[in-house]
Amino acid sequence: MGCDVHLCIEYRPAYTRSKNSRGIWFSWAKDVSQARNYTMFGYIAGVRSHQSMIHPIVEPRGLPKDVTEETQAEHTYVGGHSTTWLYPEEFMAVYAMCLMEMEDDGSTLSSEWKVVKDVLKVLQKRYGNENVRAIFFFDS
């Protein structure tokens, strides 16, 4: 039985932030389909990595306390485990490490992951690194 990743992207626009509030998060995309890649899963959350040298870039953080209702509902629906989230800069580091790892063993990374990287770059430029997050959870 395989393991699949579920990805939700959230952003927090400046107009929702003030001195007294960190702002309100909005769902940009819910359950974005991603190709199964256990090397990427290992760097994201330490899930199903076939190589013991691959560790997550940050220890899994769980769902954010201020997660959107859409993401919370999706997480509950699929029974997500090993939940974590990454800021765009963290995802870019994961992406780069995964590319290097895969080049070393002669495999390639699905273009779906490049699309996620590109989307996060655009959102990061518009809203700032700490106002965009990619939330990942897995099913078994």
What pLDDT, on a 0 to 100 scale, did the predictor assign at position 22?
75
Confidence of residue 42 (pLDDT cuts 50, 70, 90): confident
What's this model's pTM, rounded to 2 decimal places?
0.88
Check if the beta carbon of residue 75 is closer than 8 Å to that of residue 83.
yes
Check if the beta carbon of residue 91 is closer than 8 Å to that of residue 134.
yes
Tell whether the model's pLDDT for residue 121 goes beyond 80.
Answer: yes
Q: How far apart, in whole angstroms, are the C-alpha atoms of residue 85 and residue 122?
A: 18
Q: Distance of CA 75 to CAs 4, 95, 125, Å? A: 13, 23, 27
Q: How far apart, in whole angstroms, are the C-alpha atoms of residue 42 and residue 44?
A: 6
Rounded to an integer, what is the distance from CA 109 to the centroid of its chain?
Answer: 16
Confidence of residue 49 (pLDDT cuts 50, 70, 90): low
Calculate mean pLDDT across residues 101-125: 88
Give the whole-number percent of the chain exceeding pLDDT 70.
91
